[in-house]
Structure 1
Amino acid sequence: MLHRAIEMAEDLKIVKSDHRELNRSQFSEEMVASIKRTAWGLFQIDTIVHTNFLKPSRVHEVSVERLSRDEDNPIGTWMPYPISDRTQPSYMGQYFDESCNLSYIARDISRSGQVAKQKDIDPNKVKQDVYNRLRQWETNLPEIFIPKKRPAPHILLLRFV
């Protein structure tokens, strides 16, 4: 099903093609946002699945720009119903944006094995480069993402399941 979804996204030219500008005269604001979320969500799923199967990801580029952190989901609230009635900020746009950044690293991990073999590159150097990128990504996370102090809402939910 993932391969079929990628093929459909390719046909729509939202992945693996030249940059596509979504014409707002042809699409409503909601449709533009939906197309962008779909393309970037597919990129994330593809990188996660292929990296887990130790295969190169199929989607190496997304052809539409990402929604900005605040445009994607203005800081709304989230309530861990039925556990509590106390709300907290959701930051879902920010979480999605950071997971897209992490997906670039996962994409490169999924492809690094092939590249290292083809170009006779030291695998330890590749691993160190990936490790450095992961550490840099973690270092650059906004303060709102400190798991011990402010866990993400979906992490809170998992604690109660």
Structure 2
Amino acid sequence: MAAAILAIGSACAASEPPRPTMWYWHNWADHDGVSHMTKCPVRDFDLKSMSAPAGPQWQDRLAAGRAQVIFTVQPAHWNGTWHPDPKVQWIIPLRGTWYVTAMDGHRVAMGPGEVSLGEDQLSRKDARGRVGHDAGNVGDGPVELMVIQTDEAPTVDRPCRFR
């Protein structure tokens, strides 16, 4: 019996750990041109080395293509007013907190390490003149962001399209 328990324990130790789940906020537009914020999972991870002989790490490659990395520092009390994202872009706060308010009224504040996918290019001006999203800083300090603009084509009615 002890040998059987030891064998089961060894098999469990040698098996792959459970796949992780990470989360991002997706700012997307629906077929009526209204933007929304939806919390989305990233969970299609594979455990492999990114560059041998480095040890394996969980990786989920969402889309292959060209990208532009931009670091930005928004001054204290910055407000971007209503505007669509210039490109499909990933936004990661590095320092400070910023917010995004979608046309449907959903507001999300994001701090360091949180991730947002901006994809509201196909939103349309509403009766109040709003289009895209409103964004700005929370608090009295500047906000540092890393923005990764992609060559992805924007979509409609596809919240959480990257899983």
Pairwise TM-score range, normalised by the shorter structure = under 0.3
Query: What TM-score does the superposition give when structure 2 sets the normalisation length?
Result: 0.23
Q: Compare relative contact order (CA 8 Å, sep 6+) and give the higher one, 1 or 2.
A: 2
Between structures 1 and 2, the one with greater helix share: 1
Query: What TM-score does the superposition give when structure 1 sets the normalisation length?
Result: 0.23
Larger radius of gyration: 2
